[in-house]
Amino acid sequence: MPNEAMIFAAGRGTRMGALTQTLPKPLIPVAGKPLIDHALALIDDSTIEQTIVNLHHLGDQLIDHLADRDITFSDETPRLLETGGGLKQALALLDGDDLVTLNSDAVWTGPNPVTVLLNAWNPDRMDALLMLIAPENAVGHKGQGDFLMGPDGSLRRGAGLTYTGCQIIKTAAVAGVAQDVFSLNVVWDRLLADGRVFGIEHGGRWCDVGHPEGITLAETMLRATDV
């Protein structure tokens, strides 16, 4: 069972416009607390024991914000490594063979996606387990979907369910990529060819806060859940 997690927090947040000129996107407040605190709350409510956060744009502010927490930082200040490269660099800070990854710019309702993944993880048949969401539950997301899921949970590429940024993945699959800067799509494509990528459809709603309008959408979604 994975007991480590990595939160991706190194993006420049360019789609946020002026909001991220002086503030890293993970510190943008949504419903009264910074985005990264929403992600950390999911980890705190799970069995995960160690958390790594990667840094790039205005990383010092994130370090200051998280100073009172037991967080390990992976510094990407010299150059942004994308999701796969960022995770590959962070492997030196990890002890286990698998871990949870989570985006810092999403807000959720419903079951804790981290706990749902942990309960479903089966390393004998899986190298990656992705949390997906149906288009009607992906608030403010305009994509056509990323994966089609079979009856046994196995995944293939196609317009269907949307990847939420939350997964469990084996570290060996990432370490085996030769490049230093690459997307996690490179890893998934290799694993998909071997039938080792599976998915779960989340039972709540999800909002990717990637642009300024997403803040209002996320807060409206959370208020509707609280009523």
What type of residue sits at position 6? Answer: M
Structural domain tally of the chain?
A: 1
Question: What does the DSSP 8-state code read for residue 17?
Answer: G
Phi, psi of 193 (to 5 degrees): -65, -25
Q: Would you state the pLDDT for residue 223?
A: 93
pLDDT tens for the chain, 227 residues long, are 899 999 999 876 566 666 667 889 999 999 999 999 999 999 999 999 999 999 987 889 999 999 999 999 999 988 889 999 999 999 999 999 999 999 999 999 999 999 999 999 999 999 999 999 999 999 989 888 999 999 999 999 999 999 999 999 999 999 999 999 999 999 999 999 999 999 999 999 999 998 899 999 999 999 987 64
Q: Would you state the pLDDT for residue 20?
A: 60
Residue 145, sorted as left (phi over 0), alpha (psi -120 to 50) or beta, turns out to be left
Q: Would you state the pLDDT for residue 227?
A: 44
Distance in angstroms (rounded) separating the CA atoms of residues 147 and 156: 6
Q: What secondary structure does DSSP assign to 55-93, as a single string?
A: E-TTHHHHHHHTTTS-EEEEE--SS--HHHHHHHHHGGG
CATH code at position 180: 3.90.550.10
Q: Would you state the pLDDT for residue 143?
A: 83
State the residue for tokens 């996606």: 113
Q: Would you state the pLDDT for residue 17?
A: 60
Alpha carbon distances (Å) from 118 to 52, 101, 122? 17, 12, 9
Structural domain of 58: 4-226
CB 198 within 8 A of CB 121: no
Distance in angstroms (rounded) separating the CA atoms of residues 87 and 95: 13
